[in-house]
Amino acid sequence: PNLGKLPISIRIVLESLLRNNDGLKVTEKDINNLASYNAAVPGEYEIPFVVARIVLQDFTGVPLLVDLAAMRSAVHGMGLDAKMIEPLVPVDLVVDHSVQVDYAGTAASLEKNLDLEFHRNRERYEFLKWGEQAFDTFKVVPPGIGIVHQVNLEYLAKCVLEKNGVYYPDTLVGTDSHTTMINGLGVVGWGVGGIEAEAGMLGQPVTFLVPEVVGVYLTGELQTGVTATDLVLLVTEILRKTKVVGKFVEFYGPGAKALSLPDRATIANMAPEYGATMGFFGIDEVTTGYLAGTGRSAELCATVENYYKAQGLWGIPTVKDALQFTQVVEMDLSSVKPGVAGPKRPQDRIDVDNLKAKWGELLAAPVAEGGFAKTESKTAVVHVNSKDGVADKIGHGSILIAAITSCTNTSNPSVMLAAGLLAKKANAYGLKVNPSVKTSLGPGSRVVTDYLTKTGLQEELDKLGFQTVGYGCTTCIGNSGPLDSGIEDVVKAEDIVAASVLSGNRNFEARVHQSVKANFLMSPPLVVAYALAGTVDIDLATEPVGKTPKGEPVFLADIWPSGQEITDAMTSSLKPDVFQRLYTGFSDQNPKWNEIKSSTGDVYEWDRESTYIQEPPFFEGFSPAPRDIVEIHGARPLGIFADSVTTDHISPAGAIKMDSPAGRYLREKGVGFADFNSYGSRRGNDRVMTRGTFANVRIKNLMVPGIEGGVTSIGGETKAIYDAAAIYQEDTIPTIIIGGEDYGMGSSRDWAAKGTNLLGVKAVITKSFERIHRSNLVGMGVLPCNFVNKEDYDKIKDLADAIFDLTGIDNDLKPMQTATLQVHPSTGESFDVPVIVRIDTPVEKDYYRAGGILPYVLA
């Protein structure tokens, strides 16, 4: 192959294989397979990849540390040195997912939320402190500092690393799907399940199949008033249609070269939303300029430039056929218009000036078509108790949450300062936000506060209620906190389709808040604008965003900041020294972290009473010998689901319901409802998480039509899925899950696979899988399969009482081989359905035979 024509992302992986392959057998064949990726048959060649480092966030990182601690306990129990279990590559865990927006809209919100966060998560934080002292290469960025991907971008990433005098590319995997944000800085990396990351830490390669690489050739430039958020929403819409799932995407062309680094990072961030493994930009002077601008040393910047130039990997090509991609998609940046995406999926983009018309259509459209099936308008009066019972009116489309949130955008000073400048103009006109809107600002680093304060724009945002509520994921991960009870009751009683507007990257129903059904993604300045308007049922091109105290209309164009104003604000406030200073001496900035006690020692002393951290049963009955691959006979379905089941449906991150199996467990343990916390924060406790699996009320089990999720049918009775699974396990009856298209889409949540395993599910058979969840199922010893003929799903979806056999598999199993699902309905003839076993690679077969990656590593 002509190396010079290979996409840069592929060549960086090759560089990495050649220079950072410690202890791994990287063969010439591996190199050739990757180098000739264009001729490779997708799904055929797996590449063993040793990444340079690993990043974790706390929701996924805590359970990973729990598993490491459990492995140490297992090794210690065998009379061996616990220190044998030690990460072999540096691991950084950033605590960002736990802070919740309990308080918003006042100067004290930040401190109060932080207090509550430490109160709720003390046990988890003590455990993290134990981990930091027990493992040499495990570092924690404490709560209240920032969001993992922004911290990575602004502080952790180096672009080039050095070991024993050998320089090699900075590469990584992270246990969060938006790890791809770092692709904007030219760092190869993506999100994996915690299970895979754990294996990577312990010396296993992070394998991936030789990918197709789609080149996105960008030309032109963004027009005045158009933001990076508008651009990424269009990129997401276009690439979803291009079908880039499982592929690398590499941006190039004059348009890509001219983009600022934060704009590149915003585009890279949403790779999971467009479905790609990566959204990559090469390294050039914009990259080193950003490194210097964020206070990285001149020496590092020079090393990066010299290294990538010496390897012929420097720069973003501007000629369309400069590199050989499997497919090229062209996009003219000047065609991008201000837009939003929603109300349920990030790829459903709508021009701002078309939102009113589209909202009307969506409101009336059937639910199956993405609508809300509401044909009558509604208006209800609410009394906002948190604001002294002040009255407000709400109806369909009323905005109840307006959040400047998420790594996608808070890492980008141009859009954050634009929000502040818009707020300043709105204040000058005397505009106000409706009392029923919960407003918040949750930046991904303290640097944001620094530049917003320096420009005086934080004060302007404060006046509209956008006070800082925490440095973390906040509303983006669904930690939007409670709504005013006066409002929430009315929304429920009147069945109002309320809306949220947020600068995040995901908007699945109920991700943001259980009572808010329509969620629109947009740039931070648009979040402020829509908060002022109070509704999404508005055409901001022709209708006023608000009125002055004298009743004069003010339009969006009147308050939209100019490009020059944004540039001036950036020039005056972004200072390199601030970045690194705010990231060093974490403890000075967060005395609460210092006060946390930490236990010591190499082996963790499990507290049997803890409701947060428990020793998981993954190593019970551990045997180093691989198990036999056997057919599955007499299986019952535990769930039959439609298309687009997300990992959040399978393993929710949000609030634990009082009457759910997990709620019952916590009550039995004496935990008061106010201290239930979220599933996300209890991922260190397998008892809670197994009970929470499939407990999201938004997942509809076709076996019990018309009933909220979390239940199934067993012997003609409707029971919670956990309770039914317990009966099946007691009776040693195997269970399976049937799913539709894109099963397991969404985040890299490993508990979606761990919980499936601990419920006793033996196989998950779907029309298709999202990449990470499939690999996580294998990593937990659960067999993923796809229907050979997707229409066979329709023959099965109503057979809640059927019995299933999965035949044609044994120890000779070949990756991607076919097997037979024999279906025995309770009435009528049995029939066979062919399926493909989605064990994709030889090493996955080894994992499956071991019962999962963890026992495999331990063996």
- Catalog residues that contact ligand F3S under the rule CB under 6 A: 57, 96, 147-149, 176, 178, 406-407, 473, 476-477, 504-505
DSSP conformation class of 153: I
Q: Shortest approach of ligand F3S to residue 149 CB, angstroms? A: 5
Q: How far is the CB of 654 from ligand F3S (least distance, A)?
A: 12
- Residue 415 CB, nearest distance to ligand F3S (Å)? 14
- What lies within 8 Å, CB to CB, of 604 at 6+ separation is 69, 72, 73, 127, 130, 134
665/669 Cα distance (integer angstroms): 6
Cβ closest to ligand F3S, residue 504 vs residue 534: 504
Q: How far is the CB of 475 from ligand F3S (least distance, A)?
A: 9
Q: Please enumerate in sequence order all residues whose Cβ is within 8 A of that of 140, keeping only pairs 6 or more positions apart, or say none.
A: 92, 93, 94, 95, 128, 129, 131, 132
Question: Over the range 369-405, which residues count as b (16 or more CB within 10 Å of their CB) and which as e?
Answer: eebbebeeeeeeebbbebeeeeebebebbbbbbbbbb
Q: Collect all residues with Cβ–Cβ distance below 8 Å to 800 and sequence separation of at least 6.
A: 637, 640, 702, 703, 704, 713
Q: Where are the alpha helices (DSSP H) in 135-191?
A: 148-151
For the bound state, the minimum distance from the C-beta of residue 473 to ligand F3S, rounded and expressed in Å, comes to: 3
DSSP-derived pairing of the beta strands 831-837 and 818-824: antiparallel
Least spacing, CB of residue 96 vs ligand F3S, in Å: 6
Beta-bridge partner residues of 501: 402, 520
d(CA 602, CA 651): 31
CA neighbor of 345 nearest in space, from 508, 512, 514: 508
Please say which residue, 476 or 499, places its beta carbon nearer to ligand F3S: 476
- Rounded least distance, CB 104 to ligand F3S, Å: 17
Nearest Cα to 793, choosing from 643, 654, 682? 643
Maximum Cα interatomic distance, the chain, rounded to a whole number of Å: 80
- Do 440 and 466 contact (CB within 8 A), yes or no? yes
Beta carbon nearer to ligand F3S, 262 or 397: 262
Rounded to whole angstroms, how far apart are CA atoms 725 and 759? 6
Report the Cα–Cα distance between both ends of the chain, in Å, rounded. 39
| CB of residue 144 to ligand F3S, shortest distance in Å | 14
For residue 442, the minimal CB distance to ligand F3S (Å) is 8
Cβ closest to ligand F3S, residue 472 vs residue 739: 472
Question: Nearest CA to 224 among 562, 524, 527?
Answer: 562
Cβ distance to ligand F3S smaller for residue 477 or 806: 477
Q: Which residue number, 35 or 147, has a Cβ lying nearer to ligand F3S? A: 147
Decide whether 57 or 573 has the Cβ nearer to ligand F3S.
57
CB nearer to ligand F3S: pick between 20 and 269 = 269
DSSP 333: G
CB 746 within 8 A of CB 177: yes
At closest approach, how far in Å is the CB of 504 from ligand F3S? 6
**Between 412 and 766, CB nearer to ligand F3S:** 412
